[in-house]
Amino acid sequence: MTRFTDTDRTQFDMFKSLDRNTPINMLNLVQFFEKATYPSDHPLAGDDLTGAQAYKNYGTASGPVMSRVGAKIIWRGGFDVSLIGDTSEIWDAMFIVHYETAGAFLDMVTNPEYQKAVVHRQAAVMNSRLIRTRPLPPTDIFA
């Protein structure tokens, strides 16, 4: 299994090159470390937190910034089983966040308060996927 925990410069530049004035939905798939891995100089480094607890800290710390940019979670799900794909990718958190514009997402991730909160995400996340999608109207067929 290939693990991913953060965007790389090329991916982030690609995201920034797309239309910033369009609504987006960000699909989040997250696997937690069993035990949080805070940097040794962080106040929570000595605590015996799980990855799930550290991710909750991330949500608590980043939530106000997310609210200020108008973002909201529009779907959450609990993982059952993969029918197609790497069976070692068992997602602990799965959710979709709606942003009125891609620019709102960029405002959030560049906000200093949000950037401070990211230490909790880094301590929590063993593997993740973050996929920008554009909202489409629902239909009764796959196409």
Q: Indicate which CATH number applies to the domain containing 44.
A: 3.30.70.100
Looking at residue 5, its pLDDT comes to 85
Residue 71 has pLDDT above 80, yes or no: yes
pLDDT at 1 over 70: no
Stretch among 7-16, 20-29, 46-55, 92-101 having the lowest mean pLDDT = 7-16
40 in any annotated domain? yes
Instruction: Centre a 10 Å sphere on the Cβ of residue 62 and count the other Cβ atoms it contains.
Output: 22
Residue 24 lies inside a defined structural domain of this protein: yes
Residue 8, in any domain of the structure: no
* Overall number of domains in the chain: 1
- Does 106 score more than 90 pLDDT? yes
* Domain assignment present for 2: no
- The answer to whether residue 5 is domain-embedded is no
Q: What is the mean pLDDT of residues 89-95?
A: 96
Among 29-33, 46-50, 59-63, 64-68, whose mean pLDDT is lowest? 46-50
Strand, helix or coil for residue 44: coil
Mean pLDDT for all residues in the chain: 94
| Parent domain of 50 | 20-133
Domain-embedded: residue 98: yes
- At 36-49, the pLDDT tens digits run 999 999 999 989 99
Domain presence at residue 52:
yes
56 CB neighbour count, 10 Å cutoff: 15
Is the per-residue pLDDT at 102 higher than 90? yes
Residue 34 in any domain: the answer is: yes
Residues 6+ apart with CB under 8 A from 81: none
Whole-number Cα distances in Å, 1 to 21, 58, 77, 86, 118: 35, 25, 22, 7, 24
